Amino acid sequence: MEKLVYEKLNETIYHETLDNGLNVYLIPKQDYHKVFATFTTRYGSFDQSFYDPKTGKKVNQPAGIAHFLEHKMFSMPDKTDAFENLSKFGVNANAYTSFDRTSYLFSGTNNTKEALNYLLDFVQTPYFTTSSVKKEQGIIDEELRMYQDYPSQRLFYGLLQNLYIKHPVQTEIGGTVASIKKITATKLYQAYDAFYHPSNMELVLVGNFDAEEMIHVIKENQGKKGYEKQSEIKRIMPKEPKKINVIHKEIEMSVVMPKLGIAMKLTPEDGQKALKQDFTLSILLDLYFSNSGTYYNDLLKNGLINDSFEYSTIQENGILSIVMTSDTNTPDVLSAKLKQMLLSLKRKKLDETGFERIKRGMFGQFVMSLNSLESISMSFTKYQSFGISMFDIPALIDSITLDDIKKLTKDFNQKRISTLFILPSKVQNQQV
Amino acid sequence: MILVDQTKKFKTVLITLKFKAEASRETFAFRTLLPSVLRAKTNLYKNRKVFNEKLEEMYSASLTSNTNKIGRLSVIHLQLKLVNPVLVDEALFEEGLKFMREYVYGHNQFSQKDFEVEKRLLLEEVISKENDKTRYALTRLFDEMCKDELYGARVAGTKEQIEALTLAQFKKSYQSFLKNDELQIILSGDVNEAQVKLAETYFPNASFNQTDFLDYETKSVESVTEIIEQDKISQTKLNIGYRLPVRQGDSLHTAAVLFNAALGGYVHSRLFLNVREKHSLCYYISSVYDAYKGLMFLYSGVDAKRLDLAIKVINDEVNKMMTTKISEKELNLSKQALINDLKESEDSQGARQNVLYIQALLNKKASLEERIAKINAVTPDQLLEVGKLLVKDTVYLLDVER
């Protein structure tokens, strides 16, 4: 096992790549009671087209298949449910699918070795039948329809659909009612065989355990399974044009106050550069839109926003954008104002003191996040996919300069801003 | 007196101020609004922007607040979370104390404009919460069930109360808050003796008086009250309130906690397994026991088309718990889950601090081991005893428009 010590932060990580290619990261914390385990495949809603590693043939799959597969992983050949089986060990189990990965996880204070063995076993036991796929289609159909009733979900995906033309980010992670109908057991096996090979996966454990003992448990479990080597999967991503899809859209829903969403499409970099770009953008937004920012305080004073105001960056493979949302009585006024504020950042002389203050704050937030085993485990998995350890993030933030911000704002373009309003369905004429 | 949770486990230090007073309907709106108005401006930090800049300078220290009711107490909780000063800058701890003192006491004046902004924000928050139908239906249950009791009052104040609050009243209430609220300080994390002393010099007014704060207000239930209302929603909200005259410190208290756990506290509980998993009648169902007040309630989101069956299955499950003894095996599931929760909460700095505070209020100290032993000692007979004390009080139904 390779041992990495981050003295300043008082953190130690053990890493080993097993013979079957599985990457194992162990972060022991003896003074905690809990163990938090995540078993992750780099397979998410983006991965609809790829070359099958076995046949080399191009495969196109329906939107939402990664999420569907996650649901189906819990059905076991003996007709039991893996979620219930895990719960019997007294641990809390969960799973989630995002744009670029699927994670299976549990946390608990007892029977953690047994639970870990079971976690590895059930994720490595695919079992899909025609009838069970059919049943699941009904359940997910229901779930997708339910999301349609969530205003914040509609706002988020609505904005992405406004911005993106070809990139799969514009389809919901769960797919659509139509796309999931096309999913079959055969397609699930095809996806499973390609993406659930240990060499495309990683296991992260944080919490109360002994690293030597745990790696032994994991090796013994994996050694029995006889995986053969598999070459790397080649994914196919459509080329996304620079321009946006739609400039403005309005939908009606049952909300008390109108909701505004505004988003700007930017040109993303690759790999670690993309990560740095994302942090740079966050610093800039914090400078003006956090609760110490001039713009935020102006908007608040003028009654244009309330505590629901949020802003964030969306940074994914081939994606970089800014998204802002708020409840507001005057979406027209607010959207004009935000547009103007965003574009003004191109010409702003940046305040150096503020810049340093925000960077220091980001470092503080990073240290604070290390209190939570969940957050360590999630961030670790996320940053690992950029080929960087999360404990190197402070250094990355520290390397950002005012010039990086200037460079980034050159890419801000009026033509790539889009807005979306959700208006209360009862009101016919919105007062502005 | 300052409560201290000395531990090197976490990377943060918490400085928490708890202000407590006897809860009353008249002051809820003021007490909810207070923490936000205090951060809009102080003598030293002239506006919200510079106030928040100071927080960022302190390595993004996070200042959080909430106002809650615990039994008959209203507690305003103000907490500053700092990166452990040892990791960044030793002076940070005192800076934090100074900041918190300024935040609470540095107010020679309040501006009308800031006051109005904060009032608007609180109002909009209260209105948007009403849009959350699950929460709304629960508030309505307590409105009806505890009509003439303090428990029925909205802790954040009602829309009308917030709207009616004037700056003059606010100022008066602030003075009375300074004079009458009791301040308790809790420090948590990698703090030393000298830092505790330092906190005492910054807050010489901190004190603590033991009182019985449990809420004994109740009523005799002649017959079950049933309220049905309708709304434009897609699933029916079914909430049921029960009186359970077992409170903190009573001999059956831990048994009551386990009773609730076995009935509807977890995913292994009877309500979840039977109503949701077996019959697929609902989207969520859970039960909650309030040991400060002596009541239990369950809330659920039910398939509108099969409402009658859902009501029947729920009633059957509750009745079974009231009349038939639970098996050791089933009880053990709940014990295990509860012990797991206790241990997990030891991994959260905030949760540990809460335990410390509640123990101080109750004047009871118990180690984790003692608390676990207490859970393990509960018997199926005791759960049945608890069940026999349960009295159904009110059913509140927020139905779809039919």
E strand residue ranges, A138-242: 201-207, 234-235
Q: For B303-342, give the DSSP string.
A: -GGGHHHHHHHHHHHHHHHHHSPPPHHHHHHHHHHHHHHH
CB contact under 8 A, A371 and B11: yes
DSSP for B65-122, written as a single string: EEEEEETTEEEEEEEEEEE-HHHH-TTHHHHHHHHHHHHHH--S---HHHHHHHHHHH
Alpha-carbon span A135 to A132, nearest angstrom: 5
For residue A28, what is the DSSP state?
Answer: E
The whole-angstrom distance between residue B7's C-alpha and the CA centroid of its chain comes to: 25
Neighbouring CB atoms inside 10 A of B303's CB total 16
Beta bridge partners of B400: B231
Residues contacting A368, CB < 8 A, separation 6+: B11, B12, B60, B62, B81, B83
Cβ contacts of residue B160 below 8 Å, gap of 6+?
none
User: What pLDDT is stored for residue B284 in this prediction?
Assistant: 86
Residue B50 contacts by C-beta under 8 Å, 6 or more apart in sequence?
A292
Contacts of A105 (CB under 8 A, 6+ apart): A36, A37, A38, A39, A93, A94, A95, A119, A377
Q: According to the model, what pLDDT value does residue A426 have?
A: 65
Read off the pTM: 0.93
Q: What is the per-residue pLDDT across A107-128, written as a single tens digit (0 to 9) for each?
A: 999 999 999 999 999 999 999 9
Look at residues A280, A360, A89 and name the one whose alpha carbon lies nearest to residue B53: A360
A360 to B337: CB separation less than 8 angstroms, yes or no = no
A306–B120 CB contact, under 8 Å: yes
Are residues A45 and A173 in contact, defined by beta-carbon separation less than 8 angstroms?
yes
B238: left (phi over 0), alpha (psi -120 to 50) or beta: beta
Q: Is B400 an 8 Å CB contact of chain A?
A: no
pLDDT of residue B208: 85
Q: What is the pLDDT of residues A123-134, one digit of tens each?
A: 999 999 999 999
Which residues in chain B have their CB less than 8 angstroms from residue A362's CB? Answer: 60
Query: Beta-strand (E) ranges in A242-292?
Result: 248-253, 259-265
Tokens of B161: 């109360």
Residues 195-254 of chain B with CB under 8 A from chain A are 232, 234
Q: Which of A149, A382, A421, A403 is CA-nearest to residue A263?
A: A421
Residues of chain B short of pLDDT 70, as ranges, are none
Q: What does the pLDDT look like over A325-357, one tens digit per residue?
A: 999 999 999 999 999 999 999 999 988 999 999
For B358-376, letters b (16+ CB in 10 Å) and e give: eebbbeeeeeeeeebeebe
Q: Which chain B residues are within 8 Å of A10, Cβ to Cβ?
A: 11
Q: Give the CA-trace dihedral at A68, A74, A80, A82, to 10 degrees.
A: -160
Tokens 């428009």 sit at which residue? B401
Q: Determine the Cα–Cα distance for residues A73 and A83; give it in Å rounded to an integer.
A: 10
Chain A from 69 to 98: CB within 8 A of any B CB: 87, 90-91
Would the pLDDT of A428 be above 70? Answer: no
Residue A188's pLDDT band, with cuts at 50, 70 and 90, is very high
Cβ–Cβ under 8 Å, residues B244 and B289: yes
- Measured between alpha carbons, how far is A19 from A405 in angstroms, rounded to an integer? 43
**Residue B81 touches chain A, beta carbons under 8 Å:** yes
- The predicted pLDDT at position A385 comes to 87
Sheet containing strand A58-60, edge to edge, reads A58-60, A49-51, A234-235
Query: For chain B, what's the residue count?
Result: 402
B contacts of A31 (beta carbons < 8 Å) = 8-9
How would DSSP label each residue in A395-425? HHHHT--HHHHHHHHTT--GGGEEEEEEEES
CB contact under 8 A, B11 and A108: no
CA atoms within 13 A on the CB side of A395: 9
pLDDT at residue A431 tops 60: no
Write the single-letter amino acid at A102.
T
Q: Do residues A263 and A421 touch, judged by C-beta distance below 8 A? A: no
pLDDT at residue B281 in the model = 86
Q: Kindly report, residue by residue over A378-409, the tens digit of the pLDDT.
A: 999 999 888 899 999 999 999 999 999 999 99
Instruction: Tell me the average pLDDT across A171-195.
Output: 95
Q: How many residues does chain A have?
A: 432
| Signed CA dihedral, B190, B194, B200, B203: sign only | negative
Mean pLDDT of chain A: 94
**Among residues 342-371 of chain A, which lie with CB inside 8 Å of chain B?**
354, 357-358, 360-365, 367-368, 370-371
Cα–Cα distance measured from residue B59 to residue B82, given in angstroms and rounded to the nearest whole number? 7
| CB nearest A297 (choices: B48, B121, B131) | B48
Contact A360 B59 (CB under 8 A): yes
Beta strands in A52-159 (DSSP E): 58-60, 92-97, 102-108
For the segment A31-60, the average pLDDT, to the nearest whole number, is 96
- Best B41, B47, B53, B134 member to test A by mutation, with max A CBs in 10 Å, is B53
pLDDT digits (tens, 9 = 90+) for A210-244: 999 999 999 999 999 999 989 889 999 999 999 99
Q: Is A244 helix (H, G, I), strand (E, B) or coil?
A: coil
Contact between chains at B347 and A33 (C-beta distance less than 8 A): yes
pLDDT, tens digit (0-9, with 9 covering 90-100), for A285-308: 999 999 999 999 999 999 999 999
Cβ of A34 within 8 Å of Cβ of B343? The answer is yes
Cβ atoms of A151 and A197 closer than 8 Å: no
User: Are the C-beta atoms of residues A110 and A89 closer than 8 Å to each other?
Assistant: yes
Burial class of residue A261, CB neighbours in 10 A (0-12, 13-18, 19+)? buried
Beta strands in A141-200 (DSSP E): none
Interface confidence, given as ipTM, is 0.91
Does B337 lie at the interface with A, CB-CB under 8 angstroms?
yes
Termini Cα distance of chain A = 63
Active site residue ranges of A: 70
| Cβ–Cβ contact B135 with A under 8 A | no
Q: Do A256 and B131 touch (CB under 8 A)?
A: yes
* Cα-based distances in Å from A88 to A78, A82, B72, B203, B328: 16, 10, 39, 49, 16
What residues of B are in contact with residue A308 (Cβ under 8 Å)?
124, 128
Q: Return the DSSP state at A192.
A: H
Helix and strand numbers (H, E) in chain A are 15, 15
CA pair distance B339, B250, nearest whole angstrom? 20
The confidence score (pLDDT) of residue B279 equals: 85
Residue A427 pLDDT > 80, yes or no? Answer: no
| Cβ within 8 Å, pair B234-A149 | yes
Chain B contact probe: residue of A80, A94, A306, A330 with most B CBs at under 10 A? A306
Asked if A206 and A27 touch (Cβ cutoff 8 Å), the reply is: yes
- How far apart, in whole angstroms, are the C-alpha atoms of residue A178 and residue A183? 10
Interface of A with B in 116-145 (CB under 8 A): none
CA distance A83 to B284: 17
Nearest to A59 by CA among A268, A233, A215, A306: A233
* B337/A110 CB distance under 8 A: no
Closest residue in A to B7 (Cα) is A31
